[in-house]
Amino acid sequence: MNTDRKARWAVRQSALPTVVRPCPDCSGTRHRPSGKIRVNANGKLLDVWLLLSCAGCDRTSKVPVHERVHVSTLEPARREAYENNDPSVVWELTMSAALAAKNGYRLDWTGTWAVESRMPLYALDDPTPLTVLVGFEVPAPVRVERLLMLGLGLSRTEVRRMVGDGRIRLPLALDAKAHRDFELTLHGPGSVDAVNAERSKRAGERPGAAHVDLSRIGPPATSRQEPRSVSAGA
């Protein structure tokens, strides 16, 4: 069997996570960074806050980043970045799981990532297995099912069916959250029996005894009429 077909998907961050914590002024909980960092010097002691805006009422709130730290403990470049509201530092602080934990709020990463898969639709019908390396460039766990929907341009139902049929083979459960690189394999419509044979082999049966359960292969691809859905607003 030729297993030389390989593809690479990149899971990239497309937006900042939302900071989820109660707003004192309204019933909202969702906050975005205002883009500003406040630095307050008291003699040689510094306080640094990340400023957030409530999505419901625009109220500004402060997240302590440094509290009464001696000026000498901060790198000059770092202090300058704080004073200049450096956007890359605003991003870094907003995404920081450590800052979130320290200040008791949650980060919501929904809709903050996209999959760059450059996956032609005919790739799904090629009988040669395709190995896909999924590379993570987003510092948050991503639901595997959604990742496959976006990467393959398929609906939830189609993804579930292909996993059930053994045409998508994963090292993780569909409802798991992935947070580091992993590999999956896509098998063409005609190769399901080969997949099942390999499964049996790996389950400890002798190669010659591999049994193909015909009821699990499903109808031939030509009888499937469902349109493919490529839209999936991430």
57 near Zn ion, rule: CB under 5 A: yes
54 near Zn ion, rule: CB under 5 A: yes
User: How many alpha carbons fall within 13 Å on the CB side of residue 85?
Assistant: 8
Dist CA 43 CA 5 (whole Å) = 63
28 near Zn ion, rule: CB under 5 A: yes
* Residue (2 or 27) nearer to Zn ion, CB: 27
CB of 48 to Zn ion, least distance (A): 23
Do the beta carbons of residue 49 and residue 37 sit within 8 Å? yes
Site for Zn ion in 7-26 (CB under 5 A): 23, 25-26
Which two three-digit tokens encode residue 224? 């499937």
User: Roughly what angle, to the nearest 10 degrees, separates helices 87-95 and 76-83?
Assistant: 100
CB of 108 to Zn ion, least distance (A): 16
Give the interface segment with Zn ion, choosing from 55-63, 80-88, 127-135, 182-190 (CB under 5 A).
55-63
* Residue (54 or 99) nearer to Zn ion, CB: 54
Q: Binder to Zn ion among 5, 16, 30, 56 (CB under 5 A)?
A: 56
Helices (H), 87-204: 87-95, 97-102, 144-152, 156-164, 192-202
* Residue (54 or 130) nearer to Zn ion, CB: 54
Q: In what order do the strands lie in the sheet with 113-116?
A: 113-116, 5-13, 130-136, 182-186, 168-169
List interacting residues with Zn ion (CB under 5 A).
Answer: 23, 25-26, 28, 54, 56-57, 59
